[in-house]
Each structure stands twice: as structure tokens, then as C-alpha cells.
Amino acid sequence: MKSNLLPKSFLKKIRIDKISKEKKKYLKISIVIPSYNSAEFIEDCIISIINQKYPNTEIIIIDGGSNDGTIEIIRKYKKFITYWISEKDKNQSHALNKGFQKCTGEVYGWLNADDVYLPNSFLKVVKTLRDNQTKSIFHGDWLEIDEKNKILSKNYTFKYSFNQFLNEGFCLHPQSLFWKKDVHLRFGKFDTDLKTNMDKQMIILFSKNEGEEKFQVIPNFLAAWRRHKFQITGNFEKRSIDDNNLLYKRLMIKKQNFILSKFLWLIFKLRRIWWYFKRAGYLYVILKFKENINRIFL
């Protein structure tokens, strides 16, 4: 896949039009940004929301007490930010809970401070919502980018399956996920004992509360998730496993026996391949196969 860069004009230039006089006709979208020492990336994050040019957005930033210049950047854009606070918190789950308590919109989203939305994402979400009135959770495609906004890979979402999510892996990404307010009210709160798998908790409870038929694919790239050197700590994998075990215990999810789990993994892996072929073609399937081989042997 040919690599390129996110458009600099989108991330580095504020293009604010006059707020529409018909603002009330647009559903309000509330975006929560958890942050801690994010000075290197949070400006791109904030600008990517402002540059949506969507007339009814609220930005809520919950900072964990940054001391690296993050606060100065937040203050720079304070006229575009509905609410922000900087104080020590327990972890990201705690920050998310504080943020979503402040939301007043009809549609919610969560964007980490080192990630960005792509152009016109909010308009695409609202259009899909209005065209699919019975749906309440909307997920789109996403990019992976590096520290310099270079595109590393493209990732295509596909029709959501709860069993696939549990047995084979994510087919959606929290940064390109939007949901209605009532969905979040039924979800409740993030478990503050979880340090790494709060997104998994959210999606599992969305599935249990709403049913997988409430999920709707948006076949467009909505967000970019950033990979960088400060992202993964030495014991990340162990903490993730510990969190996963705790999550399954608290949600009373039984793990499959070894043989059945491997069989289900294979079945759903084949389903993923089919959806990748359907959404992006055989060259993309080959590319993903090569990426997986590289991860195993390199």
C-alpha cells in the first residue's frame, strides 16, 4: 500500500465558517478527549474537531494534570472548548467517566488526545444516523498513522458480530465509533479498575444492552489512530491480559474451552477475510495476510 500523509491543510489551519443560524437543526455531537502529557499531539486532535465545520459540536477535555505544555495548548483553543479541566485522576477510565457526565449532546464520541478525526466525519455520521433511524451505534473505517501523520495502514470495518468480537477480535475501533445518548445512559460507567480494556468493556455492554442489530457500518474513513513510542509500556501486554480476565469475571462471560475457542477463531477469521475482500478487494486481503506473517516472524 502506498503511504502518504494526512492533509496538512486539514490539521494545521483553522477554517472556521460562521456558525449556522440553523444550528438547532443539527444534532449536537459531544466529543470527550481524555488527556495526559499530550502536548505533542493534542493540537492536531482539537483542530481535527474544529475543522469538521459542523455547527453543533461540544468538545470536552479531561486532562489528568499534565505538566508538559498540554494546558497551554488547551487554553489556546478555549473558545472552541465547551468544558475542560486539569486535575489528577485515577486512570483513563476515570477521566472518561468525568467527561461523559458533562455531555449534553444527542450523539457521543471518544477521541484520544493523540488521535484525529478525518474531514467531514461528523456530517457522514449524522447522515447515516438519519438514514438509519432504527440504528444507534455507528462505526466507520480508520487509519493508523505515525508521529509525523504518515499513514501506516488502512483498516476497514464490517458488519458487527458479538461472537466475532469475543472470539476473534475487533472489527471496529473506538476512535471511529459514535453512539446515541441513550445508549451511553444504559451503558453506565467505565470500570475504573480497568487500565487498558475500557473500550472492550464499552463495546461488550453496548452489545448486551442494545443487540448487535443496532450497530451500523459507515463505509468511510472517520478517524486516524496514532502509533508512537510513548504508547506502549513494558508491561502493557500483561496488564491487558489481567484487565481482560477481570472484565470477563465482572461481566460474567464464560471463556470457551481451548478446542472450541480455536475453532471459533478460525471460523470468524474466515468471516473477516470475506468482509475484507467484499469491502476492499483481494489485494487488501493479501496485504493483511503479509502483515500478520510479519508480526509472527519478525
pLDDT at residue 15, as a whole number: 55
pLDDT at residue 4, as a whole number: 73
The chain-wide mean pLDDT, for the chain, equals 90
- Rounded mean pLDDT, 14-32: 73
Q: What is the pLDDT of residues 114-135, one digit of tens each?
A: 999 999 999 999 999 999 999 9
Q: Which three cell numbers stand for residue 194?
A: 480497568
- Rounded mean pLDDT, 200-226: 97
Structural contact between residues 134 and 217, judged by C-beta atoms closer than 8 angstroms: no
CA distance 198 to 207: 14
Q: What is the pLDDT of residues 97-110, one digit of tens each?
A: 999 999 999 999 99
Q: Say if residue 233's pLDDT is above 80.
A: no
Q: Which three cell numbers stand for residue 124?
A: 457522514
Q: Say if residue 6's pLDDT is above 90.
A: no
Measured CA distances, 17 to 132, 149, 181 (Å):
28, 25, 27
Assigned CATH topology for domain 26-255: Spore Coat Polysaccharide Biosynthesis Protein SpsA; Chain A (3.90.550)
Angle formed by the axes of helices 282-297 and 258-280, to 10°? 140
Q: Which three cell numbers stand for residue 123?
A: 456530517
- Enumerate the domain spans of the chain: 26-255, 256-298
Out of 16-20, 48-52, 280-284, least confident range: 16-20
Q: Say if residue 268's pLDDT is above 60.
A: yes
- Rounded mean pLDDT, 173-202: 95
Q: Say if residue 30's pLDDT is above 50.
A: yes
Out of 3-7, 17-21, 199-203, least confident range: 17-21
Closest among 58, 227, 34, 222 to 139, alpha carbons compared: 222
- Rounded mean pLDDT, 58-71: 96
Place of cell 505544555: 69
The sign one gets for the Cα dihedral 186, 192, 197, 198 is: positive
pLDDT at residue 259, as a whole number: 92
